[in-house]
Amino acid sequence: PMIMDRLLTAAGCDVRPWDYKTECCGASVGMAKPEIHRRLSRKVLQQAMEAGADAVVVACPLCHQNLDLRQSQVNATCGTNFHMPILYLTQVLGYALGRSEEELLFHKHAVDPRPLLRKVVADAVELRADEARRAAEMEERERAREAAKQARAKRRATEAGAAEPES
């Protein structure tokens, strides 16, 4: 699963280490033994929350179905209140590459990821503005240092010229 972490990091995501990253969500037994899939899904979602995740990214369509579409069933039967967006890896990569929310079908999710994505974009814009402001401030300080250095050099040259005896 490290390649998925690397792809998500390259897309600008903050990938959190968590114990259930490679655990099964129970989708394979979802029809025959729903109590098992609900318990396993609850553990996956709980571990993601405890790791500080805002969303879970999956590559498996069964995981997506189980963790997104059945999240309300997990809440109802397990007494939880998860509202964790579940995204496909390809959706995250597409979004990072500039694809629209409509193209990526975010509106089809049971737990709507769009508010989270909009917040992430707004935070990124704010971060970029802060970085640009800090860079401009550093550039201005460097110009001021250079101007002060030139003024000192000019003053020394003037003082050295004044100290020379006239012939």
Please tell me the distance from the alpha carbon of residue 55 to that of residue 48, in angstroms, as a whole number: 8
Handedness of CA 76, 78, 83, 84 (dihedral sign): negative
Please tell me the distance from the alpha carbon of residue 106 to that of residue 81, in angstroms, as a whole number: 21
Give tens-digit pLDDT for 118-153: 988 888 778 788 888 898 899 999 998 998 898 888
For residue 58, what are the β-bridge partners?
Answer: 88
Report field, pTM of the whole predicted structure over 0.75: no
Give tens-digit pLDDT for 76-116: 999 999 999 999 999 999 999 999 999 999 999 999 999 99
Q: C-alpha angle 118/119/123, rounded to 5°?
A: 120
- Predicted pLDDT at 45: 93
- Predicted pLDDT at 147: 87
Give tens-digit pLDDT for 30-68: 667 778 888 888 999 999 999 999 999 999 888 898 899
- Predicted pLDDT at 165: 65
Output the DSSP codes for 34-83. HHHHHHHHHHHHHHHHHTT-S-EEES-HHHHIIIIITHHHHHHHHT----
- Predicted pLDDT at 62: 87
Please tell me the distance from the alpha carbon of residue 97 to that of residue 12, in angstroms, as a whole number: 11
- CB of 82 within 8 A of CB of 45? yes
Q: Is 51 left (phi over 0), alpha (psi -120 to 50) or beta?
A: alpha
- Predicted pLDDT at 79: 92
- Higher local confidence (pLDDT), 120 or 27: 120
- Predicted pLDDT at 57: 95
